């Protein structure tokens, strides 16, 4: 979707429309219009202006299989002595089952949120 908007920005700029009009027409900020135009002018390559640069940060520890196992675990019966799964219990269980070397309860919560899974339901 972002690539489409960037392409629309470049097309409108190429047609000679002012940056403010392009921003309003495409539905992006004025800064985006300038950034996309500048990236194209600097590199001369359309692909450089349309594609996102890789973002920094640690890659996810969850692959599809681990994600599926987390969801299955969260939907299963809570461990003895607990009425429901908590994020900390899930994180501890993933490590105990050797699905992951280490994981925080926050990361578990983020993964469950991505799949709309709620262990308390």
56 within some domain: no
List b or e across 70-101, with b for residues whose CB sees 16 or more CB atoms inside 10 angstroms: bbebbeeeeeeeeeebbbebbbebbeeeebbe
Residue 57 is assigned to a structural domain of this protein: no
- What mean pLDDT is predicted for residues 90-96? 96
- Give pLDDT, residue 86: 96
Does residue 38 sit within a domain? Answer: yes
Please give the residue range of the domain that contains residue 15: 2-50
User: Rounded to an integer, what distance in angstroms lies between the CA atom of residue 65 and that of residue 97?
Assistant: 13
Q: Same domain, yes or no, for 94 and 72?
A: yes
Does position 116 have pLDDT exceeding 80, yes or no?
no
Structural domain count, the chain: 2
Query: pLDDT per residue over 38-84, tens digit each?
Result: 999 998 888 888 887 777 888 888 899 999 999 999 999 999 999 99
Q: Which residue has the higher pLDDT, 12 or 52?
A: 12
Same domain for 76 and 108, yes or no, is yes
Confidence check: pLDDT of 120 > 60: no
- 39/68 same-domain check: no
Question: Per the domain annotation, does 59 fall within a domain?
Answer: no
Residue 119 lies inside a defined structural domain of this protein:
no
pLDDT of residue 118: 62
Whether residue 45 is found in the same domain as residue 77: no
């Amino acid at each position: 979707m972002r690539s489409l908007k960037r392409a629309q920005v470049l097309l409108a700029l190429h047609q000679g429309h002012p940056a403010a009009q392009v921003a309003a027409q495409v539905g992006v900020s004025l800064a985006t219009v300038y950034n996309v135009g500048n990236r194209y002018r600097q590199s001369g390559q359309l692909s450089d202006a349309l594609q996102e640069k890789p973002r920094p940060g640690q890659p996810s520890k969850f692959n599809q299989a681990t994600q599926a196992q987390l969801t299955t675990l969260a939907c299963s019966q809570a461990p003895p002595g607990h009425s429901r799964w908590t994020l900390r219990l899930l994180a501890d269980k993933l490590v105990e089952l050797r699905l992951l070397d280490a994981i925080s309860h926050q990361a578990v919560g983020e993964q469950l949120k991505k799949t709309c899974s709620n262990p308390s339901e």
